[in-house]
Structure 1
């Protein structure tokens, strides 16, 4: 009969395999105590499973599977000892247990074979980790003898393990010359590097070399063998320094001879062990002492993140400010200072608005070509807009480095940009348009020109300046410099060289466009028809109010107010009156605005017929007001003025005198206006 399998429970194998993998991961990247205890419990369960399977094994001979189980027990026990720093009490206790299990396995294993050689290697490791160098040497000799009997394809691997163990024994014994000779001999004969030998050389440098040599070799291991190997090497460095008294105490003094890369290794060790205070301290010390810009800033950012999590945002911001000041030649410093501003903003109860603003201004001013500067500028612009500092926001857009104008400008055809666009150009168009809408006067336009004049001349900013001039000022001087498409068409239309604008305007400027053309209609009444038709046509094709009206917005009727005026200018009076009627039916509260807009739209016309219509709308507005109120007097004055312009001078004068007799205004200014109308 075929020999019965020792177990048919795949769960036991999976437990052992998973535990082994978790042990290896924890050796590379140490666990915090809470998670380590869970892993040790899993290890106890796995070892118990292996013991039970060995007890069920046949007694007449040692099967291959028995050998495997013994080898698994020894390996798990040895890996357990590697979880702890050498020379530490936990490490010594674990090594003692690993040696006990290894010695028991040797009694059960065949006198020769690969399993025995591997157990001897693990036993030598256990003796070495518990500090018994003599026993480690004896076992090493037995291992070499056993390996010689079973020499195979792994001979070179066995050789490196043998030399690695000899070097480690020499290091532990303090025999520098022997360890050095062994290492030099090995590396002179081998061109390819093995990780186990590189780790042994790292231990040699930790014992006999300088911090710089250790740090350089640590970097070399990471570059040669990858991230896992680098993390394992870093853990060896930190555990060795910790047991040798190089831990927290070393980070508390800023010794310029200390290599900051080792503090980073220590910080990562503490971070993995969830000892955040020590991790932050080591990262901070590394950042302060490191002359490498990028590495220093990365350490500062990591320290800052830990400090914020621990509730110390003040220290976090101060560290980032200090490091950014120390590395002003590095563009990475801009990101560090921007992060400081972000932390300060997130903890606004601990920082003033002026402190945050100052940090943003420093980012934008010191490193203008960085992405951090662009973010800082956007932040400052949004800040000013939220505070209704429209001109300050607009001027800020012209201070953004030309690099960002180029790299962030939209490549889509003119007229396709939206409010959501990340284009610096779109932001500039929006901010200057808003500034002019809030202060549509010569001062704003003058500041526009001066701000662009101070900016570095470049194609896109120059064309944007021309476009804004075409939109907000007299287009005569810059019409030829405007970009193709909408702004070129707008320039021709405003100069009276065309009768329409067909291209879609950027949504960033639609509101300003409406205000600009309506202002043109009032300033140039003779062009009101063309302007009215142009606005109606643009609205029909491109929905000029689309960017202003949100779904469900109860104030959406306000767009109707503008449209009424456009239809009046275009000579479509009956259409305008229909719009007014239907709008009032939907929303009676819109009546006053609609009456006022209708009156004003008619008022700009030199035609007496239009002035008569204006008078009608002013009268309807006045009748809708409380008699004697400020609004009633204002709309009544509009009615009287329109009556005079329509040719009904006597009627206007008589009405004005009657009001002065029956309902005289209290305002001296309004009283004077009525007296003038009564003449």
Structure 2
């Protein structure tokens, strides 16, 4: 049988077609008799014909069994042993390729079989046939890998695997070609009986050279058809094929194969005219003249054109837009009932060419193409079925014209064969095209199918992505929420180490779920899942925000807000969290108040406010008002605001806690000198509001302390002035003593002045008068004015020394201070 070459590709189309056809190419056979059968003459080899028929009929297991028996009977290292080793390798490969999915171990097992033979019989005269068969294992591996690339074009690992197989094949073929270049001249001399006849070696050499052309075409298959890489590989293949054709006589059995290789290369380049010219040597005499061949002029001699050549003529006609002519070529080869047969009625090249015709043009016959793809699998086996399914993906003159219906049909066929990853890729691409054209419902369904196929293939990330796109692409669909949430569950199933990209995708999915369907049926579950993720990270505020939005569990929200406040380290961060929590929690519940009150017991606020908080919490007015006031109070204490809602005080004039509030604010001012002026304004405003609302002055001493602590001594004197003597006098002394004990130097100086003023109104020489004088001396020292302290002490010792020994001793100490 004449060795046949692959069907080529139209620009931007049928790479899968070429891959399938190239695998029908045979190897130079080795007959068990003394003479070797030349390439293409297996019809004189009964056992070879039987093997071919078994493989074509899908009976690779029986073929393998026969090969093993024959190999066991053959003498090790003999020609017969080499023959059956090659046939066994082919049967093993065919059996593995026909499995669903393909058995990946076939490549190693077949390679080990051939390599094992070479280890024992490396110098055998049949070793070159074994080496060629070994290179073909790599080639077939590259072709099946390329089918996977076409099904999942975005997969870099698949592409790298295919390229590696091609490189391995090229290396083996190049080494074999170099070795044959040296061996054939020696075989011509007939001086070494260990060498095969030179003619037979030239057959192997020719096969190697043709196979090197095929590897270039195989490289082109791995790139987009119109890309520079694909076109360059095809152009190199054309150049090598032309060189090989010049060396091949027209009567050589391989001549037709070389011609079709050249035509295939030009067709890949996109030059249909050169492809047609290349085929002329294979056409009948009346077809080799000027003018393109047509079915009508070739009808009388159609069977002089072998089907493989006819298939190429059909593809050329399709590429040139001559669909009617292509159909006429097909009708010339097929009988009407051939289209319905499930048994082999024509070579796969013709069947695939018909599939291409059905898928060409602006209005492809989708249903007929799908039916024909199924028929191709029934007629030629699983490998060609996979090829036909992939061909369904590409329609018309460019990939952009592909019909999603056909792609979905191809994907369904892949699923039936167990090719889950390939099916998932096609369903996804169909969905992408449908989404662009506004077919949202179909896109949704195909994304679900893509996700299911990815899951069967074990790719949970890809499955999750498809389900997420389904839900987000059609949010109104009754299954959209469930599909989108299932995308998150798939990522959980896949698992993740630490803060991985998968975990971040999981978070984004759940956040999107809550955003798209805030009141959806799946929302509670999504909120729970996202909250758990945040809690595992101790991101308490993020978790709290989720539950704050849920009206049915504000207690959990409050608990999480308290954890967030506890975890916050900076005052500003605490203040912001507190304000956010109170603003978001339900205003009619106690939860907001609990959070606000707890906020005053954080690490930063250690000022003993518990009593005030307890009073505020027990006060009988709306919880929402209490929560807002407590939060505002915390904001004030943390320096985030400078005012307080005094209307709250006016609305509750009889509550007992406002004085405690003034006292606490005064202590805050004393501890935080930078905030004294700001807090003092609030203290005085609170005191004024209390006085105006209750028509009575609150505890004056508490107010004075708070005002002094907040650097409001002048305002304190105004308060004192509101009282008659003797109360005003006692308050004035209290104020002066507060100022003397202040940690602010200016306050202490002012306290000295006020004590001097207070002392002038006292009875000179009395015990109280001397006590005031001693306090003044001590105050001078606190402001680093020892000279003033000594001056006052010496004056007192000279004019009116005290009778009390202790007071006298202290004055003498102050007199020595300078």
Normalising by the smaller structure, the TM-score range is 0.3 to 0.5
Q: TM-score, normalised by structure 2?
A: 0.34
Larger radius of gyration, structure 1 or 2? Answer: 2
User: Which structure is higher in RCO with an 8 Å CA cutoff and minimum separation 6?
Assistant: 2
Q: TM-score, normalised by structure 1?
A: 0.40
